[in-house]
A and B are shown apart, each in its own frame.
Chain A
Amino acid sequence: MASRDFLGEFEHIVVLALLRLADQAYGVTVRREIEVRTDRDVSIGAIYATLDRLEAKGYVKSHLGDPTPERGGRSKRFFRVTGKGMTAVNRAQRALLSMTEGLDLVRSYSQ
């Protein structure tokens, strides 16, 4: 299997955030979702750099919404996970589960 078919750690998190947010996934909501769930201070630039990489790989697709006044008349760019992206995230999840199977991570971490 080609190495480019694997998701990086942050890519994995971003794809999962897109899946959680469904049709409400755009820069602000994705950033907040990751910040709240992972307790990680993420910049909007990091989110877009990752989303662009995922879009270039064909894992996500984007479209522009309508301009809104609270955004100074600028449009939101909504993202959704493609079939190829779903396959990739499933593969990444399976790999993670397979690697952690049988490990007592809580005990190992505390030692």
Chain B
Amino acid sequence: MTEPSFVQPPRLAVWLVNLFTPYEQAESIPGDLLEEFSDLSLKSGATLAHRWYWRQTVKTIAYLIGSGFRFAPWRITGAVLMGRLLLLYGLMLPERLIVAVLRVYPISPDYDHKNVVALWMFWVPLAIQVGWVIVAMFIGSLVAMVAKGREMVATMTLGLTFLAPRLVGMVILWAPPFFRADVFFVFIVAFVVGGGIVRKLRLAVLTRRSAMIEEQQ
């Protein structure tokens, strides 16, 4: 079915609502918001309607996160614990892999000294950090698979459990040099992106399946 040609709600807000809405409400919540948004944009104009949609989005997501915990506390806790365990070993993988590769293919003694320094000072740490991001995305997607239907809540919680001990440590020890906020932010984003990919794939499968059932009927 095609969308009617009236003012459209903010795309980012629609995307965020779809990301956090459980499958069983994937029709009702975005549909209700669109219906009220359309009425409001006709009565009060697009600007006010956009503002209203954003306000509803923020409040709705907050409630959806809360209800996610209430309705599936064990599923989310289990998924987050599994993610934490995987992180313990997963984050060592990139470094081990790079060291193993360098053992198999050692640097030739004839290699330019400057290039060797650049390799160890820049390229190896960069490769390890990229590896961490890939591992974090992979773990985020595994957590999302376990937290079926509450992917974003689970991956965000994993991110918070990852960040919280560092924040507490920073406050207690007052040791900002040990806390790289940018690195940890990248980790959290990677978890959530991994979860988001799983959610989108799962939604696409569900939509295709329900379309096929409708066709058969």
Q: Shortest distance in angstroms between B25's beta carbon and chain A's nearest beta carbon?
A: 6
The answer to whether B31 touches A43, judged by C-beta atoms less than 8 angstroms apart, is: no
Contacting residue for A70 out of B4, B56, B60, B63, CB 8 A:
B4
B31 — nearest CB in chain A belongs to which residue? A74
Given contacts A28-B35, A72-B3, contact A49 B63 (CB under 8 A): yes
Residues of A within 8 A of B1 (CB): 67, 69, 72-73
A residues 50-71 touching B (CB-CB < 8 Å): 52-53, 56, 64, 67-71
The answer to whether A71 touches B71, judged by C-beta atoms less than 8 angstroms apart, is: no
A residues 5-20 touching B (CB-CB < 8 Å): none
Residues of B within 8 A of A75 (CB): 27-28, 31
Given contacts A69-B4, A71-B35, contact A27 B28 (CB under 8 A): yes
Is B30 at the interface (CB under 8 A from chain A)?
Answer: yes
Residues of B within 8 A of A28 (CB): 32, 35-36
The interface on chain A, measured as residues whose beta carbon lies within 8 A of the other chain's beta carbons, has a size of: 25
CA gap between A70 and B31 in the complex, in Å: 8
Say whether chain A's binding surface is mostly helix, strand, loop, or mixed.
Answer: helix
The answer to whether B32 touches A43, judged by C-beta atoms less than 8 angstroms apart, is: no
The answer to whether A70 touches B29, judged by C-beta atoms less than 8 angstroms apart, is: no
B residues 52-74 touching A (CB-CB < 8 Å): 55-56, 59-64, 66-67, 70-71
Question: Which of B25, B61, B66 has the largest number of chain A CB atoms within 10 A?
Answer: B25
The answer to whether B35 touches A45, judged by C-beta atoms less than 8 angstroms apart, is: no
Is B38 at the interface (CB under 8 A from chain A)?
Answer: yes
A67 — nearest CB in chain B belongs to which residue? B1
Please list 16 pairs of residues, one from A and one from B, whose beta carbons are closer than 8 Å in the complex, sorted by A's number.
Answer: A26-B32, A27-B28, A28-B35, A28-B36, A45-B62, A48-B29, A49-B67, A67-B1, A69-B2, A69-B3, A74-B27, A75-B27, A75-B31, A76-B32, A77-B27, A77-B28
